[in-house]
Structure 1
Amino acid sequence: MSLPAVRTSRPMGTWDPFREFDNLYRVFGAARPERDGTWSPAADVTETEEGYSVEVELPGVKKDDIDVDLTGNRLTITGEAKEKEREGTPLRRARRTGRFSYRVALPRNVDSDNIEAALADGVLTVTVPKSASAKPRKITVSGS
């Protein structure tokens, strides 16, 4: 008995095992409902010299239905994606509705007094600036 050959469109040299873990988390972890019935939306967290940016996909969610909290270094975004009233019988449903929750631990070097959140085009962007002591500084060298 011989096994069938498996061909992929990806060259063997570009395999990244960490990407495989990310894909597993995305497929099996991120969209899975939590114990309390909430789900976790897709999000990206980036760092710059000035601070951190958290972008959370929330299509169809109104700003009044979103809560953003920072406790210690834990940023929590919660809310509800409400189901839209429709006529007719649904043939396929792929969008999530109900309570959602996204949590991320940020470093302790954030300026918690100047955090901003804005919702545009279905994406919530939370901008978290670094504290002044955490930003890189150029130090001049004195002497001869």
Structure 2
Amino acid sequence: MNMRDLIPWGRSGSQAPSVYRGGDQNPFFSLHREVNRLFDDVSRTFGTGFPSLGQLSPLNGGWPKVEISESDNELRVTAEVPGVEEKDIEVLLDDDVLTLRGEKRSEVEEKDYSERFYGRFERRIPLGYDVEEDKVKASFANGVLTMILPKSPNAQSKVKRIAINQ
């Protein structure tokens, strides 16, 4: 008998080998199946925004997801924070780093299954420009936080357009 015949590798939806018919009655087979399912779930969610262990902010880009647009005079940062109330968000600007911090609370205490993110979050965004801190504006509507950060005159004068030669 081949060693592979002894191990139920049924991850791709295939049935376990015939040796394991009625394996639900054996707690080791149930544990093995659950561990495989957990590893499959984790590997399937890499890069899709599941919480990390450190700050409960999802990997690969963080949460909340942001859009940053720039004009000659200002930076506009828009963050999607669905399910978060305005009172649960804190916006900080320190040393040209914009920090979004808060908590998304669950409406229901006990859940059987959830793919939604709950908990504390923190996202730090290096701006790359000096901004006029006293003129920064933030607004919050329909789960979208928008911040307008005017560039300082010093930062605006540092921009130099470079011609491209053919």
Residue aligned with 1:134, SS: helix
RCO greater where, 1 or 2, for CA within 8 Å and sep 6 or more?
1
Match of 1:75 in 2: 98
| Contact 2:129-2:155 within 8 A present in 1 as well | no
Structure 1 residues 1-144: aligned runs within 5 Å: 28=46, 31-39=49-57, 40-85=63-108, 93-135=114-156
SS at match of 2:93: strand
Q: Which runs of 5+ in 1 are unaligned?
A: 1-26, 137-144
Whole-angstrom distance in 2 between the partners of 1:30 and 1:74:
25
Deviation at 1:43, TM superposition (A): 1.0
Distance 1:94 1:119 in 2: 25
**Distance 1:108-1:30 versus aligned 2 partners, 3 A rule:** farther
Q: State the secondary structure of the residue aligned to 1:52.
A: strand
**C-alpha deviations, 1:42-70, integer Å up to 9, x for none?**
11111112211111110111111000001
CA RMSD, 1 decimal = 2.4
Deviation of 1:37 after TM superposition, in Å, equals 3.4
Q: Percent identity?
A: 33
Q: Specify which structure has the higher proportion of strand.
A: 1
Relative to structure 1, the CA distance from residue 78 to residue 30 in structure 2 (aligned partners, 3 Å threshold; closer, same or farther) is farther
Larger Rg: 2
5+ residue gaps, structure 2, are 1-44, 58-62, 158-166
TM-score by length of 2: 0.57
Count of aligned pairs: 108
Look up the SS of the partner of 2:51 in the other structure.
coil
How many angstroms apart in 1 are the aligned matches of 2:100 and 2:47? 17
CA distance in structure 2 between the partners assigned to 1:35 and 1:90 by the alignment: 20
Matched residue type, 1:95: R
Cα distance change on mapping 1:30 and 1:50 into 2, 3 Å:
farther
